[in-house]
C-alpha cells in the first residue's frame, strides 16, 4: 500500500538492510520501469558505489549514492523492496541490485506502475515532479495557507501531490474520517477550525500508521482503514460504512460521522 506511511516503512527497511555495501551488479528485468535512464545508464550510475543514505519525500524513496547522486524509487499501487540472500528473487522482480556480500535487493512491482529514476539532488527531483511539501512536514499555518489557494473537493486536495506530498486514496479516507469531514466538502467551505482538525488528523493518522508499520492489523482500533470494505462498520458509531466516488476514486465514509460544515 505505498502511500507515505508505507514508503516510510520501506525507507527504514532500506536503511537497515542495504547501506554501505558496494553494489556489484544491476539486472533490469523490465526496462519500462526505468523513468529517465536505461539499463546500462543505471548500471553506470550505481555499480561500484554503495547506498549511504535513505530519505523519503511523499511517496518517493531516495537512496543516496556514495558519489552524491540519488536513486529514486516509486512504488505505484503494488510495489515493494525485498532484501534477501541465498534464494531466488521474488516473483515480479523488475530490477535486482546485487551487493558484494552476495545479498540482493529486489524492486518488486507486480503491476509495473512504479518507476525507478536517477537524480542529481533530491531538490531537483522534487522540483521536476512539482511535489508539494511532505505531508508530515507541514505546520498549522502552512497548512492553512495551502488550503486558502485552492477550491474543489477536500479529498482531491488531500491527494494532490503538488499541494501535499504523500497522501493517497486510503489515507485520505482515514484522515477525513478522523477529522469528521465529508470527502466532497469544498475547500472554500472549511472554516479555520475545520482546517485545524484536518491538519491534526493528517499528522496523527500518518504518524500512527507509521508506528503501526503501515500494517492495518496493528493500527489503532479507532481507524476506519481495516473496515474500508463492503459490510464494514464504523469504529466510532457502529453504523455501516458506505462507498462513493470522489476525485475519480472510491471513497469510504461513515455518513453519520462525516459532514460538511454548515450542512
| Region of 8-16, 39-47, 76-84, 99-107 interacting with DNA (CB under 7 A) | 76-84
**226 contributes a contact to DNA by CB under 7 A:** no
**186 belongs to the catalytic site:** no
Number of residues located near DNA, criterion CB under 7 A = 36
Which is catalytic among the residues 8, 11, 56, 59? Answer: 59
Q: For residue 59, which of 77, 71, 74 has the smallest C-alpha distance?
A: 74
**78 contributes a contact to DNA by CB under 7 A:** yes
**242 belongs to the catalytic site:** no
Answer yes or no: are the C-beta atoms of 114 and 73 closer than 8 Å.
yes
**3 belongs to the catalytic site:** yes
Angle, vertex CA 6, rays to CA 246 and CA 13, nearest 5: 170
**260 contributes a contact to DNA by CB under 7 A:** no
Mask of contacts with DNA, 5-34, x by CB under 7 A?
-x-------------------------x--
Count of CB atoms situated within 10 Å of the CB of 262: 7
Angle, vertex CA 178, rays to CA 177 and CA 182, nearest 5: 35
**95 contributes a contact to DNA by CB under 7 A:** no
Helix/strand/coil for 104: strand
Strands 242-246 and 103-108, bridge-based pairing: unpaired
- Distance between CA atoms of 153 and 181, rounded to whole angstroms? 11
C-alpha cell at 237: 458509531
Among 76, 220, 255, 261, binds DNA (CB under 7 A): 76
Q: Which residues bind DNA (CB under 7 A)?
A: 1-3, 6, 32, 58-59, 74, 76-78, 91-92, 110-113, 129, 150-153, 156, 159, 161, 168-170, 186, 243, 245-250
Q: Which residues are catalytic?
A: 2-3, 59, 249
Amino acid at each position: 500500500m505505498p502511500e507515505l506511511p508505507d514508503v516510510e516503512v520501506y525507507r527504514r527497511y532500506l536503511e537497515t538492510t542495504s547501506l554501505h555495501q558496494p553494489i556489484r551488479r544491476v539486472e533490469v528485468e523490465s526496462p519500462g520501469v526505468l523513468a529517465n535512464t536505461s539499463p546500462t545508464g543505471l548500471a553506470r550510475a550505481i555499480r561500484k558505489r554503495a547506498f549511504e543514505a535513505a530519505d523519503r519525500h511523499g511517496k518517493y524513496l531516495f537512496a543516496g549514492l556514495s558519489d552524491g547522486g540519488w536513486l529514486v524509487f516509486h512504488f505505484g499501487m503494488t510495489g515493494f523492496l525485498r532484501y534477501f540472500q541465498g534464494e531466488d528473487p521474488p516473483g515480479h522482480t523488475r530490477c535486482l541490485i546485487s551487493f558484494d556480500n552476495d545479498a540482493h535487493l529486489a524492486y518488486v512491482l507486480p503491476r509495473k506502475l512504479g518507476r525507478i529514476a536517477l537524480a542529481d539532488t533530491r531538490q531537483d527531483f522534487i522540483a521536476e515532479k512539482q511535489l508539494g511539501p511532505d505531508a508530515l512536514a507541514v505546520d498549522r499555518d502552512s497548512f492553512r495557507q495551502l488550503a486558502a489557494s485552492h477550491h474543489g473537493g477536500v479529498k482531491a486536495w488531500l491527494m494532490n501531490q503538488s499541494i501535499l506530498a504523500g497522501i493517497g486514496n486510503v489515507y485520505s479516507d482515514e484522515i477525513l474520517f478522523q477529522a469528521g469531514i465529508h470527502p466532497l466538502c469544498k475547500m472554500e467551505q472549511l472554516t479555520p477550525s475545520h482546517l485545524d482538525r484536518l491538519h491534526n488528523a493528517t499528522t496523527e493518522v500518518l504518524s500512527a500508521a507509521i508506528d503501526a508499520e503501515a500494517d492495518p492489523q496493528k493500527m489503532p482500533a479507532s481507524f476506519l482503514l481495516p473496515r474500508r470494505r463492503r459490510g464494514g462498520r464504523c469504529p466510532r458509531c457502529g453504523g455501516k460504512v458506505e462507498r462513493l466516488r470522489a476525485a475519480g476514486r472510491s471513497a469510504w465514509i461513515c455518513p453519520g460521522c462525516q459532514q460538511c460544515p454548515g450542512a
